[in-house]
Structure 1
């Protein structure tokens, strides 16, 4: 039986690791805040001592952390992933990072004798809990094939996208679109309410037409109820918008709408909404 490691037990990682454990897989967990491991260990997981120890005792180790800096940090140092990886062991980074960060990690893991796959996920807290994420995998095809049974537990779709960097780019494109949609949705809802339209009727009309989509169906009631319980932290969306714009710069592509949207999310961060849900961008509009 393959042994799996899971590092990074935030909103997404905790739910993803939990689904692997519920499916009966042999899972070792680790998080900087060890308290986040407690209920998973009670459910049958093993407690890891460090990223190094997880990587050296598991066949495949998954990680999902907040940003490129955290993704690099979890790999480096005497107790990092790189110190524990080696021949016959594999590493899958599910964090949302830029393609250069993925390539850097891939080169280091490969040099150490391991296999590497980037596999950022599209989806928020509820899809993570339900096992319906979209997993955007790229890199070592043999590792993709070996990891597919675990991907199928965590997600509903796991396309293989080719060489390292393609998964990271796909995730940034998807999140850039999502951020832009949420920004204009917030402006539209704000305009409608200021114009004395009924908020629920706006949502019903949008849901009945060509613009209907799951995000508006979920975020709309959050705006009307002023409920910003975090499913996807706003600070992470702003990070993704910035990375998407950086990618555009590298490709000599102007992204004016994304740039404007990024400024809106930056304004929301400055206003103190960084740890609230992405829907809290509405508070800077209304």
Structure 2
């Protein structure tokens, strides 16, 4: 395809050296150009892969088209033209919509195609997708990612890979263009399970942190002093450092939106019910994120769960 970049960039990482040759590179089809998918797709292009993109709405594809990158008109067309297809969509329903139907990805697959499912979906949806893909004699890798928009732009997402080791070996360079480390989690479905594990912990931590800040602010404690105490002790974490700085600035621009965190906690609770595990803290965190969404903060960063707690306490966490 020999793409020269003439259009706008989703991110600019000129300090990172990327191979310029495209010899022997496979064509990668990328489905789902949201806040995460867009920089992931650019990283594949920067790594030298021939790229073909598809998104349900046209807007996100325009920078790729402007750069001379092919835009498919359906998931089916992606399957017909790509050697490897990456899927990065919102939820179980979106994954099913990509796969099924007369213009769905499944129709375009054959034994030469590998599908890498990188969306955050349930293990059940992942395993069902694998079965339908493999029924077309195509190969399947379960590889959701841990991280937000910043790591997606930097190519430092943690890849949670599940599936046949031989298949993962074959696509490892593709995965490495989007993230590191690549953690091998087990069979197909185990990547999805690991993703819910880490996002369960993320949601619980964010909810607890927001509660603690609200508790302190309601008593007149200084935000900077609270943050200093957190960072000096055993509870220090990158999450609290990063989100603390954003909260101090009242910056709720979406890095990982409330609605997506709520969705992941809902999935985690559903899986927990299936396997007979009680998640009382996660259930409470889910309700806090649900309430924040109901207040109109669903498209704001997950830190906006704080706004729900502030509204109850009639206090603002600020400098």
TM over 0.5: yes
Residue 166 of structure 2 is matched in structure 1 by 142
Query: What SS class does the counterpart of residue 79 from structure 1 fall into?
Result: coil
2:88 to 64, 75, 86: 64
TM-score by length of 1: 0.97
Residue 112 of structure 1 is matched in structure 2 by 136
2:270 to 239, 242, 246: 246
- Say whether the 8 Å CA contact 1:21–1:44 is kept in structure 2: no
**1:98-247 pair list within 5 angstroms:** 98-247=122-271
Residue 284 of structure 1 is matched in structure 2 by 308
Q: 1:19, CA displacement in angstroms?
A: 0.9
Q: 1:227, CA displacement in angstroms?
A: 1.4
Bigger CA drift: 60-69 or 33-42?
33-42
TM-score by length of 2: 0.87
Q: 1:166, CA displacement in angstroms?
A: 0.6
Alignment partner of 1:95 is 2:139: no
Q: 1:27, CA displacement in angstroms?
A: 0.8
Residue 84 of structure 1 is matched in structure 2 by 108
Q: 1:79, CA displacement in angstroms?
A: 0.9
Bigger CA drift: 196-205 or 58-67?
196-205
Moved over 6 A (4+): none
More helix by share: 1
Q: 1:143, CA displacement in angstroms?
A: 2.3
Query: What SS class does the counterpart of residue 211 from structure 1 fall into?
Result: coil
Root-mean-square deviation (CA), in Å? 1.1
Bigger CA drift: 198-207 or 256-265?
198-207
Query: What SS class does the counterpart of residue 231 from structure 1 fall into?
Result: coil
Distance 2:91 2:164 in 1: 22
Residue 43 of structure 1 is matched in structure 2 by 67
Q: 1:188, CA displacement in angstroms?
A: 0.8
Distance 1:44 1:179 in 2: 39
2:35 to 2, 7, 11: 11
Gaps (5+ residues) in structure 1? none
Bigger CA drift: 141-150 or 53-62?
141-150
Query: What SS class does the counterpart of residue 6 from structure 1 fall into?
Result: strand
How many equivalent residue pairs?
Answer: 286
Gaps (5+ residues) in structure 2? 1-24, 311-319
Distance 2:113 2:42 in 1: 22
Residue 272 of structure 1 is matched in structure 2 by 296
- Say whether the 8 Å CA contact 1:4–1:59 is kept in structure 2: yes
Query: What SS class does the counterpart of residue 160 from structure 1 fall into?
Result: strand
Question: Cα–Cα, structure 1 residues 159 and 48, in superposed 2: closer, same or farther, change >3 Å?
Answer: same
Q: 1:40, CA displacement in angstroms?
A: 2.2
- Say whether the 8 Å CA contact 1:59–1:90 is kept in structure 2: yes
Q: 1:141, CA displacement in angstroms?
A: 2.5
